[in-house]
Structure 1
Amino acid sequence: MEHLKALIRDVPDFPSRGIMFRDVTPLLRDPGAFAEVIGALAARYRDQGIDAVAGIESRGFLFGAPLAMALGVGFIPIRKIGKLPGEKVSREYALEYGTNTLEMHVDAARPGERVLLLDDLLATGGTAAAAAALLQDVGATVAEIAFVVELLFLQGRQALAPHPVHSLLTY
């Protein structure tokens, strides 16, 4: 997996001074690397009884939809506020300065379904915790929360307890 790590671009001082942004988009540009990421995740979850993959807007969509296809299950988009028509559930979560809200269609996951929640990067865990809560709000079980990249120093796993967490690459 170290060769995949080499493709992740470090962008200093983005989105603000003092932040080292880990840009996963070069993985998407390299078809072999992209396929390897999806293949590694599919191998982990193929025999886990996953009923659906949920991805968090927006980079979670880029990895979640192809993973759902590889597993032969449906994909559940978890969106930022105001992007979904119809009946939905929502969860507010804290940001460094202020709050944000995630939404999901109320019928996106069914009670008792085992859903794999996926995003590109785990930092503080607030976004993924809100997404997991949405799935639980409609009666689904969060089988695991997976990330392509995890920033260990931010201890985001703690915010996701008691859910199991899996990351392909760590910093």
Structure 2
Amino acid sequence: MDRLQESLLECPIIEKDGYHYFVHPISDGVPQLDPGLLREIVIRIIRKAELDDVDKIVTPAAMGIHISTAVSLMTDIPLTVIRKREYGLDGETALHQTTGYSENEMYINDVREGDRVLVLDDVLSTGGTLAAVLGALDDIGADVVDTVAVIKKVGGDNEVADAGYDVKTLVNVDVVDGEVVIVDADGDD
């Protein structure tokens, strides 16, 4: 069993409004993130993702930043962060993000028509964030070469799949009786 699986099996579960959240350093920054775990995740992303001719890595703020930064450092692919703050810069594209627990406006800068991008995120749960991001990138005319989320929480809605997008994952989990259960140790390809 790898570090990612071990860390998920050990993480605390909290319940808010009937939704069970796992609290994990990759998705929440709590407890502290072990560098060995981050290194393992980055190596697995680099092995799983299609990186040929990728111009940029794109990630939504905030919890995709640490993962994407580490992948950027290892691959020398520039990183663009989708922010929750509007700057009003030329070419800025707005998108509406709806998840199982929040709604936000987000803004993409520095992605242009024809850019070949790798989209990275921490967790795929309802798919609301990634569906909005991928839809906005399509509207811009960017070529999404690949999309990878570290952890997929199975069960319930998956807006990203419903919208026709494919997302690779490193591990798929569920929360059953207050505990994380590994559903697929290798994720989705």
Q: Do they superpose with TM above 0.5? A: yes
**Structure 2 segments unaligned to the other structure (5+ residues):** 174-189
What is the one-letter code of the residue matched to 1:37? I
Take 2:102 and 2:122, find their aligned partners in 1: how far apart are those partners?
22
Q: TM-score, normalised by structure 2?
A: 0.76
Comparing both chains, which one has the higher relative contact order based on Cα–Cα distances under 8 Å and sequence gaps of 6 or more?
2
What is the one-letter code of the residue matched to 2:14? P
The answer to whether residue 78 in structure 2 is matched with residue 91 in structure 1 is no
Q: Secondary structure at the match of 1:136?
A: helix
Change (3 A) 1:23 1:45: same
Q: Secondary structure at the match of 1:110?
A: coil
Superposition pairs of residues 76-115 of structure 1, within 5 angstroms: 76-80=80-84, 82-87=85-90, 88-96=92-100, 99-105=103-109, 108-115=110-117
Change (3 A) 1:10 1:98: closer
Shift of 1:96: 4.6
What is the one-letter code of the residue matched to 2:64? G
Q: Secondary structure at the match of 2:12?
A: strand
Shift of 1:33: 1.2
Take 1:44 and 1:99, find their aligned partners in 2: how far apart are those partners?
30
Shift of 1:164: 2.3
Aligned with 1:146 (options 145, 148, 154): 148
The share of aligned pairs that are identical, in percent, is 22
Take 2:23 and 2:86, find their aligned partners in 1: how far apart are those partners?
24
Take 1:160 and 1:54, find their aligned partners in 2: how far apart are those partners?
19
Q: Once the two structures are superposed, what CA deviation does each residue of 1:120-142 show, in whole Å capped at 9, x if it has no partner?
A: 00011111111112222322111
What is the one-letter code of the residue matched to 1:17? D
Equivalenced residues, count = 165
In structure 2, the partner of 1:5 is 5
The answer to whether residue 43 in structure 2 is matched with residue 43 in structure 1 is no
In structure 2, the partner of 1:158 is 161
Q: Secondary structure at the match of 1:38?
A: helix
What is the one-letter code of the residue matched to 2:12? D
In structure 2, the partner of 1:65 is 69
In structure 1, the partner of 2:118 is 116
8 A contact 1:119–1:146 mirrored in 2: yes
Change (3 A) 1:98 1:38: closer
Take 1:49 and 1:28, find their aligned partners in 2: how far apart are those partners?
34
The answer to whether residue 127 in structure 2 is matched with residue 129 in structure 1 is no
Shift of 1:160: 4.5
Q: TM-score, normalised by structure 1?
A: 0.83
Q: Choose between structure 1 and 2: higher helix proportion.
A: 1
Shift of 1:165: 1.0
What is the one-letter code of the residue matched to 2:7? L
